[in-house]
Amino acid sequence: MAAALTRGDVLVRDARPDHLDAFLLKLKEAGVDFSVGEGSIRIKGNGRAKSVDITTLPYPGFPTDLQAQMMVLMAVAEGTSVITETIFENRFMHAQELDRMGADIRLEGNRAVIRGVEKLSGAPVMATDLRASVSLVLAGLVAEGQTEISRIYHLDRGYEHVERKLSGLGADIQRIKG
């Protein structure tokens, strides 16, 4: 997702593309360029994504664990998209924080209507859970200016050394000890 957002070129090794059919289908529909190899996925960010509608479903449907990350992509995509969350209530807590960065997201119960904007702007935001925290990191990568994420401890429950990994790909990201 970081490559799609920042127009990068990233090869993910030791991936299980056969477990990501619904996700990859939505990336393709959004116009994101990718290729699947034996145990790998290569993403080439090739411009602004197109809006797509998503409904989270149990496997093999679109994973709820990727909903927040996809919302960031849709926040800067061309057009309006709708994300319907059918797995977990209250899984849109990151939407308000993305709005603080300039996103245009309207919540309607278990649906988020996202009107894509040209750009996001850096802002102080707060992570509320694991998925929200990684979506805010992704939004910060694509935003103009500086983004500071508080309560980042949520991130460590599922994304070990993410700042080091993203820095290795060229991101300007650092963890500040408080």
In a domain, 5, yes or no: no
pLDDT at 90: 84
Decide if 176 is inside a domain. no
- What is the count of structural domains for the chain? 1
Q: Is the pLDDT of residue 78 over 80?
A: yes
Rounded Cα–Cα distance for residues 122 and 109 (Å): 27
Burial class of 83 by CB neighbour count within 10 A (0 to 12, 13 to 18, 19+): buried
Report if residue 12 sits inside a domain. Answer: no
- pLDDT of residue 89 exceeding 90, the answer is no
Q: Is 8 inside a domain boundary?
A: no
Q: Is 11 part of a structural domain of the chain? A: no
Question: Do the domain assignments include residue 161?
Answer: yes
The answer to whether residue 124 is domain-embedded is yes
pLDDT (0 to 100) of residue 176: 86
Quote the domain boundaries for residue 138: 49-168
Q: Tell me, yes or no, whether 152 lies in a domain.
A: yes
Q: What CATH number does residue 96 fall under? A: 3.65.10.10
Angle in degrees, 0-180, between the axes of helices 93-100 and 67-75, rounded to the nearest 10: 30
In angstroms, the Cα distances linking 76 to 61, 107, 160 are: 24, 17, 26
128-154 pLDDT, tens digit each: 999 999 999 999 999 999 999 999 988
Structure confidence by residue, pLDDT tens digits, 17-50: 999 999 999 999 999 999 999 999 999 989 999 9
For the chain, the average pLDDT equals: 95
